[in-house]
Structures are given as C-alpha cells and as structure tokens.
Structure 1
Amino acid sequence: MELDTMIVQVNDNEKMFYAKIDKYINCLGDKFREKAVIKQQVYNDIMQCLLLAKGKKLDPHSPVFVYWAKQKFILIKIGNIDIVACVKSKKPVCVYEYFYNVIKEGHTNISHGGRDKTIFELNSQYSFIPRFAIDIFMKQCIQCQTRKPI
C-alpha cells in the first residue's frame, strides 16, 4: 500500500512541475512561447529537416525553419539511433517532455548540491535545458527546501 502512495506522489510532483513550466511559458510574449523549449513535435520536425537530402523541399515546413534547423543542429548516431544535437556543443538536445526526469537525475547525482551545480551538471550532458526549468524544479525539491529554502 505504501508503494502506491509513493508512485502517486512522484506523479503529482511531475504534474505540478509541468504545470508551473506551462504557466511560466504562457506568461512569456507570443514571440517567445514557441522558442522557450523544444517539444517532441519540433524535435521530430528538426530530425526530418536534417535527414532531408540537399536540394529537396519539405512541404509542411517553411524554408526558414529548414535553414534554422540545419544551422543549429546536427545528427549524431549513437548505436543505431539518430539523435539531434547542438552544433556548437555537440551535446544531445533535451526535449520538454523529459525535463523532469533529466533534471531530477542530474540533481540527485550531485547530491542536491544546489542550483548552480545542477545547472553545470546538466549543461555538461545536454543542451537546450532552460534555466527557468531548473529553478522551478529546485523550488519543488523537498530535501533542498528543508535544508536551505529558496
């Protein structure tokens, strides 16, 4: 019975995390809402653009989007899987839907070391994780709040 309660609590924390992120994104200006995070659909569109042969046209996407995708991202093959990575850092792009699990894992790996250490840890492994997502997660971390409230 205790195990079921723990699972519900974790899911509630995750739901609350995404609700707060959505609230933050909705407070941004219209121009910045789509650019704040990379969601799974945009990730798939970027991958289609990168797999597109030179000179071919991709109907659902504008030439501006295709140009942006090819300038900012590359494909890295890990095993037999293609992964979208940032051109500058060569690190995999973290998708919005995985933020909670990735931030939680990184924050736990550094033993709840604080915001700056968490940011450093995550930026050493992934790209496109916004700082506001880490801040929201840190405000929800019960162990960190009991030790040093934000």
Structure 2
Amino acid sequence: MNTAVNRDLFLEKINALIAGKRADNCFYYTQEKYSKMLSEVVSAKIKCNTPLNYRRLKRFDVLKINDKEKLIVPLKPGKTNIQYYVINEELYSILYETHTKIRHGGRTRMLKELQAEYKNITYEVVMLYLNLCKQCQMKHSAPKKGIIVKPMVSSELNSRCQVDLIDLQSNRDGEYKFIMVYQNHLTKFVQLRPLKTKRAEEVAHHVLSTFLTFGASAILQSDNGREFSNQIISEIYAMWKDVKIVRHSQT
C-alpha cells in the first residue's frame, strides 16, 4: 500500500500508546477483548437480569452483517446512523481510508468523518496518525504567504524622520517625566530630549530646535497617534509659518 504513513511505524506507536492504558479502558479493544464483549452483550440481550447486564446494553448492541456479528452503539428511537466499535488491528486501515477520502484534511475533518461511523477512535489516535503523515507534515512546514511589509527607504538626509515620546512618569527624574525620541530614518541618528510634560507646545519647541540644527524633515512620522501628530504640527506651523511638513501616522 503506497501511503504517506508507514504502517509498521504506526503500529509500533499505537501499541506503545495502548500499553500505557489501563486494561479496563473502554476505547481500545484487542480481538480477544472484543470477542468477549460480544459474547457478554449477546447473553445480556437474552437475559437482562443484573445491573451489570443493564449497563452493558446501555453502551452496546450487536448487529449481524453477512453472518458476522459487530458491536455497535445502541440506536436511539428515530435514529438510523450506526456507530461501530473497532478493534486495534483495524485502526490503521480505517484511518488510512478516511484520511485519503478527505484528501489529507486536518484533525477536525478527520474526527468529524470518523465519529460519524465509529465510536471508539480517539483524538489521540487521530493525532498520532496525522503526525506520522509525511504529506501533511510537508504541507505544514511549507512557508505560508503573508503580508509583505515593505521597509521605508529614505534616500535623502531629512526625507523622513520620526518623533515619539517615552513615558517615564513612574520613574521621573526630578521635574522631567518624558523623553522625546527623534530619529532620522536614513542615518538612524537619534536625539533624546527630556520633557517636563507631553504638551504639544513643549514637544514642538524641541522638534523645531532640532529642525534648526539639522534641517526640517520632509515627512514627520509618529507612533503616538494622529491627534498627537496633528497638535505638534499645528504648534510648529504657529512658530514657523514657512515650514511645510507632510504628516505620516503609523501604528
């Protein structure tokens, strides 16, 4: 069988998984345990005279298909969908057929398909199989297409600069509670200015001082929000009538 899951490796893993379970678990059935349960359910159907037999018949029923008896979940009135109990030796072929049918779909689709027909195929068995599927692992490891963020490239000294504030109110230095960070995008040169407040006029005063030292930025960018940027620009306009700045707000 040409498959993306090695059968021998799956059986090795599933046997190790089952070996760690209690002998009386109700999900994993060897052929011997399955046959014993079949016999007990048939007997209980003939003579349900004990609490144990009553509990068995609440969980199990027997369906005869081509002279072969199968353990199933008892059908509720008005229901026609049959759920089978399977033995450990059947797990690989059932998982293989289902996974092929849904074209290597993920765990949600696998569980939905399996739980519609089988009662005792667990989530951990499905995940064990999927983790061994080479085709699925290759699909998950393939790089996903995402949003490509183009870096902002500056070609001239003052074509783009950024101004932001660092809040130091919880660790103030005397009357200074904020630091203004001014960075040139092209050179990455940073200037730091201590501020007593974050009022627009105080920030604008230091920005204008920087402009007069290094030249005005064509684009002034800030991560502190649109309102903050607008207030600074308004103050700079008020101080320097001829300045022309294009604001670029970025989060």
Identify the TM-score tier after normalising by the shorter chain.
0.7 to 0.9
Bigger RCO of structures 1 and 2 (CA < 8 A, at least 6 apart): 1
> 1:89-145: per-residue Cα shift (whole Å, max 9, x none)?
741112111001001100110000111101111111111001111111001111111
For 1:139, which of 109, 128, 131 is the aligned residue? Answer: 131
2:77 is the counterpart of 1:81: no
Q: Secondary structure at the match of 2:70?
A: strand
How many Å separate the matches in 2 of 1:17 and 1:68?
Answer: 33
Q: 1:69 to 1:40 in 2, by over 3 A?
A: farther
Q: 1:34 to 1:17 in 2, by over 3 A?
A: farther
Residue 36 (structure 2) aligns with: 45
Aligned ranges 1:89-128 → 2 under 5 Å: 90-128=82-120
The one-letter amino acid paired with 2:68 is: I
Task: Give 1:86 deviation, angstroms.
Answer: 1.5
Runs of 4+ in 1 over 4 A off after TM superposition: none
Q: Secondary structure at the match of 2:108?
A: helix
Q: Secondary structure at the match of 2:6?
A: helix
How many Å separate the matches in 1 of 2:112 and 2:91?
Answer: 15
How many Å separate the matches in 2 of 1:95 and 1:70?
Answer: 19
Normalized per residue, which structure has more strand?
A: 2
Identity %: 24
How many Å separate the matches in 2 of 1:54 and 1:97?
Answer: 31
Residue 20 (structure 1) aligns with: 13
Q: Secondary structure at the match of 2:72?
A: strand
The one-letter amino acid paired with 1:82 is: E
Query: Which consecutive residues of structure 1, in runs of 5 or more, have no partner in the other structure?
Result: 1-6, 57-62
The count of corresponding residues between Structure 1 and Structure 2 is 132
Normalized per residue, which structure has more helix?
A: 1
Q: Secondary structure at the match of 1:148?
A: helix
Q: Is the 8 A contact 1:39 1:95 kept in 2?
A: yes
Query: Which consecutive residues of structure 2, in runs of 5 or more, have no partner in the other structure?
Result: 76-80, 142-251
The one-letter amino acid paired with 2:60 is: F
- Mean alpha-carbon deviation: is it higher for 79-88 or for 132-141? 79-88
The one-letter amino acid paired with 1:74 is: D
Greater Rg by CA: 2
Query: What's the TM-score once normalised by structure 1's chain length?
Result: 0.74
Query: What's the TM-score once normalised by structure 2's chain length?
Result: 0.46
CA RMSD of aligned residues (A): 2.7
